[in-house]
Structure 1
Amino acid sequence: MKKPNKYLLILLGMVVVYTLMEYFRPKTINWDATYRNTDTQPLGSKAMFELLPALVKQPAVTNVRKPIYNQLTEETLPANSNYLFVQGDFDIDDLDQTKLLAWVKRGNTAFISAYSFPDTLEKVLHFRAPLSPFSLADSTLRTNFVNPALRTPNGYNVRHDDGRNYLQVTQPNSPIRVLARNARQQAIFLRIPYGKGTFFIHNLPLAFTNYYALDSATTTQATGALSYLPARPTYWDEYQKQGRFSAEEQSLLRYVLKQPALTWGYYILVWSLLLYAIFAGKRTQRIIPVAEPLKNTTLDFVQTVGRVYFQQGNHDNVARKQIRYFLARLRERYALDTSTLDNELTDTLTRKSGVDAQVVAQLVLILNQANRAIGLNEADLITINAAIEKFQAAAGGGATVRRALTTYY
């Protein structure tokens, strides 16, 4: 059985140890504003989501994980209900906005708390959400309700907000009602009638986060704003903050990538395995043998055959084979009929090969004599070979096989 690679085991051990250390390390407080109803960090909104059913006198609040258009089209909502949005930026497209306006117009209520809103929605509802200059930034700026029943002597301070955000009503003598202002008397909470329904536009979403919802000094700021909602079935939007998939629908990888410690462990493992494949794999791979090209063994074969004939001393056989081979070459190269070695063949071969007529005539004569001879000896073989070589040299054609045979004779 092959032993596991020790370097790979060390690498996996380091990744596991690092992941466990990161996972169990005391967590630092995360002050990022997520507004998610599943987050328990200071600027999440889990506490407000859990307190909301009592404020709207409902057994539960429905968590929405679909775009506005899909929710209002695919789901059958009660005739009169509330739709809440608490987030940093209220960013919806034209389809969502058109569907939301039509839904509110029929007599429903939309509560939107955000720092920024689509320009198209602001134009329809006749309000703006500008920012004061940086010179007016003030994290101690207090806000308070206009309604005396909700107003407190000292107001409310959201110290994680820089105090630059506020709302403006753009239509004079409109039915829009200001429900809360900051210390500069700028509106931060509006009630906007629309058709048979109502929009509540709130410009301080941090007031609904865990830190301020659970602080006794600021908790009534959130509950007071939500007390304007009628006691109806209520829907809380999480699609714009968490997307479509709930925790139960998320894949294992999606969960890993949401946990900082697991995310770093995952990335380290992937990169480590990649580096291992590049470097360790190169060290341990088998040497690939060099494939030598096939050699031309024709000359070796001819030399071997020549040695056999030489050792046997069968000069007659060798001479006749050489003649047959030579005549076959003539037929192939010059398209001649070599069945009869006569004057006609001599003339044709002389003309086609360009060799001197005397050389060709002598060659044909020697071949004729050899064919008529009963037996050929070593001297005859040498004479035949010399005549063929002389013709080949004059004709400009090398003959490897013939040279090999000549080596031994």
Structure 2
Amino acid sequence: MILQLTSCKETNWDENFREKEKSPFGTYIVYNEADKLFKNQEIVYLKENLYDFLIDKNNIDKNKLSNYICIKSNTNKLTDDGVSYLLGFVYSGNTAFLALNYFSDELREQLAFKTNNLDKDVYGVENLKELKGEFHLENESFDNQTFTFDRNIRRNYVVSYNEKTTIVLGTTKIDGEKIPNFIKIYHGFGEIYIHTNPIVFTNYYLLKDKENYVENVFSYLPENTVYWDPQIKKSNYADSSDDDNKSIFKFFLQHKTLTWFLFVSFGGVLLFMLFNARRKQRAIPIINPLDNTTVAFTQTISSLYLKEDDHKNLADKKIAYFLEKVRTKYLLNTNNLNKEFIQHLAAKSGNKIENTNYLINTIITLHKRSECSKEELLVLHKMIETFFNKQAHGTTK
């Protein structure tokens, strides 16, 4: 025991990416030097799961844009619901920076990119030590500088991407060929930066004079509030992919009051079965009058649309509903949605001309498209609701 306590501790070479770890492949330095990397910017260190943070509308100031940063091996604590909320956060004009070894299928599918890791089966400290790399940043401002890294550099790169929405910002050299490992993807009104080698942001390389590469990479982010996500907690609300987390009983057992409710309910059911076990006369059935099932029918039809993910069809119906209401309520001809129409509509509805112009342009754009994403449908719905709510408030006043 004395020898154990007095001996020097061995260096931990595990790739943990933990913000409190001072070991070579922790992220203690970049985490604690964030205020110097992002000067004159507010930095918020998330203490809860991103999904839980975003669903609380009080956490985000919609009048200010912000940057989300996550440097990890993977985002296994971010569920599919969390990915959807993150993409919605970016779609509204914000920025996300993800430096990961592994990207979830949901994220790659939504952003239309694919990655490949040639060293995904390489494990162990000694084997990873042999992996070296050479990076380039594809920007004239960096003078075509080459950045060399001497260990744990997996050949992880971007295989394919949507050329219409993606810009290659950095490359890694594999077998003499430069292949993308740092890209920028435009999503809605914001953008997402994807980096496939998070190891370069760890303590080891920042202490080996590689901070210039990190500074250059972060220089692409706009000067907005920074939300730094250490990914330390699982979501308290979003469903996990594990079957155990999907169990309704597990949710009940996580809360003391619900646990007691569950026990009392089971006890009540047992008592009911015990005292009503004797045979009784069959009750005379009550014939109720036919119900108005219009609402239920509407809910069923809407559920079918949602289940089929036919967002384009829903968007077209939403647009048709909006135009019909404009025709009947404001007596305007909707055949030609030009500048004169927008001015008349804004004047009659009491909405601002710029908000009305933005709504009509969005309707024209979605109507011409052959497809529509879930986020675009939600944005259209909120814009139409806001448009008519403005008129309703104006009338009340």
Instruction: Please report the TM-score for the alignment, with normalisation by the length of structure 1.
Output: 0.50
Cα deviation digits, residues 239-269 of structure 1 (max 9, x gap): 2x46689xxxxxxxxxxxxxxxxxxxxxxxx
Identity within the alignment, %: 25
Residue number in structure 2 paired with 1:99: 85
Shift of 1:151: 4.6
| SS, match of residue 178 in structure 2 | coil
With over 3 angstroms needed to count, the CA separation of the structure-2 counterparts of 1:185 and 1:22, relative to structure 1, is same
State the alpha-carbon separation in 2 of the partners of residues 152 and 49 from structure 1. 28
Residue number in structure 2 paired with 1:120: 106
Residue number in structure 1 paired with 2:55: 73
Contact 1:53–1:61 (Cα < 8 Å) also in 2: yes
With over 3 angstroms needed to count, the CA separation of the structure-2 counterparts of 1:203 and 1:43, relative to structure 1, is same
Cα deviation digits, residues 43-74 of structure 1 (max 9, x gap): 11111112222222246522212121101122
**1:39 corresponds to which of 3, 18, 21:** 21
With over 3 angstroms needed to count, the CA separation of the structure-2 counterparts of 1:27 and 1:135, relative to structure 1, is closer
State the alpha-carbon separation in 2 of the partners of residues 22 and 81 from structure 1. 48
State the alpha-carbon separation in 2 of the partners of residues 210 and 227 from structure 1. 19
State the alpha-carbon separation in 2 of the partners of residues 31 and 177 from structure 1. 34
Cα deviation digits, residues 136-162 of structure 1 (max 9, x gap): 997233111001212554323252223
Residue number in structure 2 paired with 1:382: none
Contact 1:127–1:168 (Cα < 8 Å) also in 2: yes
Q: Confirm or deny that 1:145 pairs with 2:128.
A: no
Contact 2:68–2:227 (Cα < 8 Å) also in 1: yes
Q: Confirm or deny that 1:189 pairs with 2:148.
A: no
With over 3 angstroms needed to count, the CA separation of the structure-2 counterparts of 1:128 and 1:71, relative to structure 1, is same
What are the residue-to-residue correspondences of 1:168-207 with 2, within 5 Å?
Answer: 168-171=159-162, 173-183=163-173, 184-207=177-200
Contact 1:144–1:152 (Cα < 8 Å) also in 2: yes
Q: Confirm or deny that 1:110 pairs with 2:92.
A: no
State the alpha-carbon separation in 2 of the partners of residues 43 and 31 from structure 1. 6
Contact 1:56–1:230 (Cα < 8 Å) also in 2: no
Higher relative strand content: 2
What are the residue-to-residue correspondences of 1:339-354 with 2, within 5 Å?
Answer: none
Residue number in structure 1 paired with 2:72: 87
Shift of 1:34: 1.2
State the alpha-carbon separation in 2 of the partners of residues 237 and 134 from structure 1. 24
Matching residue's letter, 2:228: W
| SS, match of residue 144 in structure 1 | strand
**2:228 corresponds to which of 218, 232, 236:** 236
Residue number in structure 1 paired with 2:330: none
State the alpha-carbon separation in 2 of the partners of residues 160 and 31 from structure 1. 10
Shift of 1:96: 0.3
With over 3 angstroms needed to count, the CA separation of the structure-2 counterparts of 1:193 and 1:102, relative to structure 1, is same
State the alpha-carbon separation in 2 of the partners of residues 197 and 189 from structure 1. 17
Shift of 1:23: 4.4
Shift of 1:86: 0.3
State the alpha-carbon separation in 2 of the partners of residues 236 and 158 from structure 1. 27
State the alpha-carbon separation in 1 of the partners of residues 80 and 30 from structure 2. 29
Contact 1:167–1:187 (Cα < 8 Å) also in 2: yes
Instruction: Please report the TM-score for the alignment, with normalisation by the length of structure 2.
Output: 0.52
Cα deviation digits, residues 270-302 of structure 1 (max 9, x gap): xxxxxxxxxxxxxxxxxxxxxxxxxxxxxxxxx
With over 3 angstroms needed to count, the CA separation of the structure-2 counterparts of 1:151 and 1:85, relative to structure 1, is farther
Residue number in structure 2 paired with 1:49: 31
State the alpha-carbon separation in 1 of the partners of residues 115 and 223 from structure 2. 28
State the alpha-carbon separation in 1 of the partners of residues 135 and 101 from structure 2. 15
Q: Confirm or deny that 1:160 pairs with 2:152.
A: yes
What are the residue-to-residue correspondences of 1:281-360 with 2, within 5 Å?
Answer: none
With over 3 angstroms needed to count, the CA separation of the structure-2 counterparts of 1:208 and 1:119, relative to structure 1, is same
Structure ID, larger Rg: 1
Shift of 1:22: 3.7
Contact 2:41–2:226 (Cα < 8 Å) also in 1: no
State the alpha-carbon separation in 2 of the partners of residues 219 and 152 from structure 1. 17
Matching residue's letter, 1:73: I
Matching residue's letter, 1:127: F
State the alpha-carbon separation in 2 of the partners of residues 133 and 102 from structure 1. 32
State the alpha-carbon separation in 1 of the partners of residues 121 and 107 from structure 2. 28
Q: Confirm or deny that 1:220 pairs with 2:212.
A: yes
Q: How many residues align?
A: 223
Residue number in structure 2 paired with 1:209: 202
State the alpha-carbon separation in 2 of the partners of residues 186 and 215 from structure 1. 24
State the alpha-carbon separation in 2 of the partners of residues 81 and 153 from structure 1. 29
CA RMSD, 1 decimal = 2.6
Cα deviation digits, residues 325-379 of structure 1 (max 9, x gap): xxxxxxxxxxxxxxxxxxxxxxxxxxxxxxxxxxxxxxxxxxxxxxxxxxxxxxx
State the alpha-carbon separation in 2 of the partners of residues 190 and 233 from structure 1. 21
State the alpha-carbon separation in 1 of the partners of residues 3 and 225 from structure 2. 45
